Structure 1
């Protein structure tokens, strides 16, 4: 199957050049023109897709060859662009793919596997390069030239100059870039009002920032005034047709349930999925797969709700920042008791990252659920890596012996209590 999907990748020479600012600003500015925009993020990051969702009004989605395999990248892109994951949604007019780290930075030791360049090649997408010019002028041209010629299969079709100090400064960079034949799509001046605050794992999630929508509106206006959106669309439309079928949750579960198309929830097991400000990390496909497998999904907020949804038959506690909200989580004692009772009663529960910390006895000395006989605490160093693990026992996630792929990204340590049973 061949699909016409205008698309582009927003990349940079390194982290900190403004990829998220420009990518999110482009999404919001293009949406303002009446276009339907699909936002995507290279890699496993949860936070940037939250800003993409705010900018586009559609779920933000990830494209990670390590986690899902090269063969699923185009199908997942097409799925996100098709209807945005909502019934009655419109197909996207353009897909904007935000890169990760530097353009060619990927899985260490694997020649750039899972890098932004890798995804650009897999999706046959032109690249718009965002470059922070705050500490250089003519040298920027040398940087862009190196990026453009490093891999002939990666096409850098335009450049956005970010954090310019003055018109005189940006004009000097433009003159140096002119012989390269790569269009300068726009210049963004330094502006602290469009910078999102950060914490130990990256940007503060959009769901935790009441002012995020207002900041995004300011950013969209700035991008619309500073970047040639028509030129951006010409670049996106230059992408060749994509070959492949859109990923389908129903097909992925191989007919394991009635699917999300069945409006009758009677008889469908209800899965309670944690949300709210403390649990913002979740892939859109997780809910889609649960629904396709025949489950009914109900969100709950461990900060605000005092009980689990009625009829809860399973619990999913995803990632987030429980350490930031530890006091409020501990104060909601009815929810702590409800979760403790559910897990003790054998309700199938999946807890990852923040969910794991929440189920421990304590987090930085603050009482938590206590379903796991262990204590969690913030650690001095960041742990960041792709992992492959083997299931040592049968569970709701995998049969014993199954190899699973994951991403480890945290600054915490979990210590089992003395004498605790850690065997599966």
Structure 2
């Protein structure tokens, strides 16, 4: 076990310091330590790998932590170190740390965490749907294997060999990384071969590929925060996505919905049953759900806070977020941070590049943060002007967050963004 301790940890104080351990504090998890430090807490980072995933390296801030522990495979030793530090809780930063966080909670705080025996079902997309099937809930038909012959057998057995397309993706990645819509036959065989053995966006090698039926409908997310198995809704959003050839799931926008929207009752009820089936007892969860003609079906569950600036978006839309629920739970302000009410219409609009090359008119993007309803813009063009074709959430040019009490004004600005996007000249 490698331990790094800053001077802040060794400074004597007259008041006992409360400490929180964050496992893999990358991506959305990078927001946890600063929020707790503002409350006067000390934070401990536990890392499961030598470094953060390359696509999230910019989110790793060691200075936010008074202690950094590098996990070496010894749960008992790590548990003893955390017990000696008198941590008040262990939470997940990125989904890569979910199984370890669950095991540590079971060791240090018995009965207060998620069911450890279902940790892999909360982390692995194939295991997730196996657990839903066992619970009798709607789920996606799938096969996960390194042998394409098994895929062909599965296609024939399910009748999906006659389908227009199926989905191929890594089982343990994130951010629509390498998710492809492919036709059964040579196209699927090639996509399958490209997935097996590939290192995914989170830095893990995928020894097998996951092939699933292609779900058609409108995609939503339900974000929750759970305590003792009670799942409080923190946000319901509707996704607009598009496909480009084999590439599926390119984000166009994410819009918050109020619980009075007709689709919410069914989505939230299904999401809560999913969380129960996956042994969720504590913490933030992000469930992506497709609403098909026959009802909702889970696409995947991310056992962490929602990413994509969601705490900021949630506060704009409702006044509170999953991060507020987390700090409220440990800081004794849980009641004030609970509840879900849409206060204003909020939409995150993604700006994408249709091809790779040099952006010849970057000046057209300068007006995005001056749109009437723009609350924030993260659209950036590299200094050399070279952009990559957008193929997943990690390769967008950025996003513009729109907010207003008037939804029509938000929709008007979304249309303006699309016109600006279409005017990009990439040579």
TM-score (norm 1): 0.27
TM-score (norm 2): 0.27
